[in-house]
Amino acid sequence: MRVGLSYDLKEAVILKDAVPDDALEEYDSPTTIEYIKSALEGIGHSVVKLGGGTEFILNILQEKVDIVFNISEGRGNYRSREAQVPSILEMLDIPYIGSDPQCLAICLDKALTKKLIVQAGIPTPAWRMITSLKELSAMSWQGFPFPAIVKPAYEGSSKGVHHNSLVDNQKQVIETVAEMLETYSQPVLVEQFIDGDEITVGVIGNSPPKVLGIMRILPRKNNNRFVYTVEVKRDWKNLVDYECPAHLNEKTKDKINSYSLKVFGVLECRDFSRIDFRVSADGMPYMLEINPLPGLGDYSDLVIMATKLGWKHEELIASVFSAALERHPLCVQR
């Protein structure tokens, strides 16, 4: 097949003046694009690089492709940015891999996702969403279960999650939320901190979707309040170990398995996703968030997971690709 590859390179994104140093964190490097391109070529397809933003729009109107392998994060800090490329592809009636705009837009909004998850009976940490300084100043923190994590509501790649995101009291939470509102220009989520195992789960396929693996992320230095911050993700080779399959008790693993599939279904994800959990000391998994557009570069958690399970990168790409082909032309997989 002639496959279009849509993506957003860090170097293609023009930044405004005062942006945080992790502003480009989610975007990809040329190495990742080549890695995915050669995996697609390795399974017999020809690949046309479409790029992102305006370049993508110009290219998709000119190139004749059978399907688009989309890893584009979208532009701006809009909560529906991941839906930009799939929306254009739907308008042009071009098939693409991965979830649809509605799913992508919901999942990037962490609070909205949590509301749906709670309704489905899946545990997620207690939270508050703050949209302005005015709202923050009127808020009482009495009874909120500290410690808490403060994070931007519409981000990925741990953007905005630094060591000072972990707060222990009212004074710290107010200071951190105020700073984050200004730095990231979007609502801020304050979430009960679950001090326990950091878990990420890969789900692949549609009918039915299957758990690829459950991976535990372990800090190298003994750290009883581990946070998988942007700094840790950048220096993962030195700071963490990945364990997959995760050594957890059977009961906890069963819960993680069934919650993951339920979350994937409730949000109507397609083809693949990665779901993050923290497991409390009593073995209860709490869902933090779902990534229907998880990274597929060599440093990405899903790729590390697949490698630990003995898959080649090419096999991972092939299985996501064939999941998309199998469901096509169905718009929404039910």
Site for Mg ion, rule CB under 5 A: 276
Residue 114 contacts ligand ATP per CB under 6 A = no
Long-range contacts of 123-127 (CB under 8 A, 24+ apart): 123/259, 123/284, 123/285, 123/286, 123/287, 124/286, 124/287, 124/288, 125/191, 125/192, 125/193, 125/194, 125/278, 125/286, 125/288, 126/191, 126/192, 127/189, 127/190, 127/191, 127/192
- Min dist CB 26 to Mg ion, Å, is 11
Partner whose footprint covers residue 157, from ligand ATP, Mg ion, none (CB < 5 to 8 Å by kind): ligand ATP
- Min dist CB 216 to ligand ATP, Å, is 12
The residue from 67, 130, 194, 296 that contacts ligand ATP (CB under 6 A) is: 194
Partner whose footprint covers residue 51, from Mg ion, ligand ATP, none (CB < 5 to 8 Å by kind): none
User: Which run of H or E residues covers position 130?
Assistant: strand 127-130
Residue 8 contacts ligand ATP per CB under 6 A = no
Of 47 and 201, nearer to Mg ion (C-beta) is 201
* H helical segments located in the chain: 30-42, 53-62, 84-91, 101-108, 110-119, 133-137, 170-184, 230-234, 236-239, 250-266, 301-308, 313-327
Residue 215 contacts ligand ATP per CB under 6 A = no
Stretch that binds ligand ATP, among 15-23, 76-84, 136-144, 148-156 (CB under 6 A): 148-156
- Other beta carbons less than 10 A from residue 171's beta carbon: 10
Residue 154 contacts ligand ATP per CB under 6 A = no
Residue 278 contacts ligand ATP per CB under 6 A = yes
Q: Is the preceding omega at residue 187 within 30 degrees of 0, hence cis? A: no
Stretch that binds ligand ATP, among 93-101, 185-193, 254-262, 312-320 (CB under 6 A): 185-193
Of 255 and 278, nearer to ligand ATP (C-beta) is 278
Residue 155 contacts ligand ATP per CB under 6 A = yes
Residue 22 contacts ligand ATP per CB under 6 A = no
The amino acid sitting at 301 is D
Of 25 and 276, nearer to Mg ion (C-beta) is 276
Nearest-5° Cα angle at 289, 263 to 313: 85
The amino acid sitting at 71 is I
The residue from 6, 84, 158, 252 that contacts ligand ATP (CB under 6 A) is: 158
Of 17 and 282, nearer to ligand ATP (C-beta) is 282
Residues 6+ apart with CB under 8 A from 216: 197, 198, 199, 242, 243, 244, 246, 247, 248
- Residue numbers at the binding site for ligand ATP (CB under 6 A): 125, 149, 151, 155-159, 161, 191-194, 198, 227-228, 276, 278, 288-289, 291
